[in-house]
Amino acid sequence: MKFFINFKTYRQGSGKKALRLLKKIEKANGKIIACLQTGDIHLSKKTKAEVWAQHADPINYGGNTGWILPENLKENGAKGVLINHSEHKTKDIGAIARRCKELKLKTMILAPNAKEVLRAKKYRPDYIGIEPPDLIGSKTKSVASRPKLITEAVKNAGRTPLVIGAGIKDKKDILAGKKLGAKGVLIASAVTTAKNPLKILKELTDNN
């Protein structure tokens, strides 16, 4: 299983605190990928952890004030990009995916349901993520509580590895997803805002 840790814009995952969290991630087990804010991508040069960006725009060099240039992300050390997270929806999924492919940046396209997984697959991303929006940040339920959704999403993703996210907080959620065919998990607050993120990470990644 691959573990994608989304730092979002949490205080605990921003700036100097982001670097501290990255150093803790380095000590955990398994393959962990940190998804950082654009302003923190440069921290990739201070960590052994693989760093991805949380978003990119389908632009080239030029007059694009305020937009996120994929070349800039790569130059600062990003290895991949999340596309179409429910907190940053975009109508330019295909264009962003193509720009990333041009630069050999890996991609994960996020989908809210199994039907949208089929749409995401046609853009040939490296991963497809399934995250029901209503479960993101949930304290009581996770995507693992919807096994039929995961099963259908895995089927629709075909050979593209499926990553599950939304409300994941313990190993039980991860094992449930793995049993249903998921190849990775996308986790945010359960790790990023934890009092002891390294302990949580080790528990989640043990034997995975």
d(CA 109, CA 111) in angstroms, rounded, equals 7
* Active-site residue (options: 50, 116, 131, 152): 131
User: Annotated catalytic, 85?
Assistant: yes
* Active-site residue (options: 50, 55, 85, 152): 85
d(CA 32, CA 201) in angstroms, rounded, equals 9
State the DSSP string of 88-120: S--S-HHHHHHHHHHTT-EEEEEESSHHHHHHH
d(CA 101, CA 189) in angstroms, rounded, equals 29
d(CA 22, CA 42) in angstroms, rounded, equals 12
User: Annotated catalytic, 131?
Assistant: yes
Question: So which residues are the catalytic ones?
Answer: 85, 131
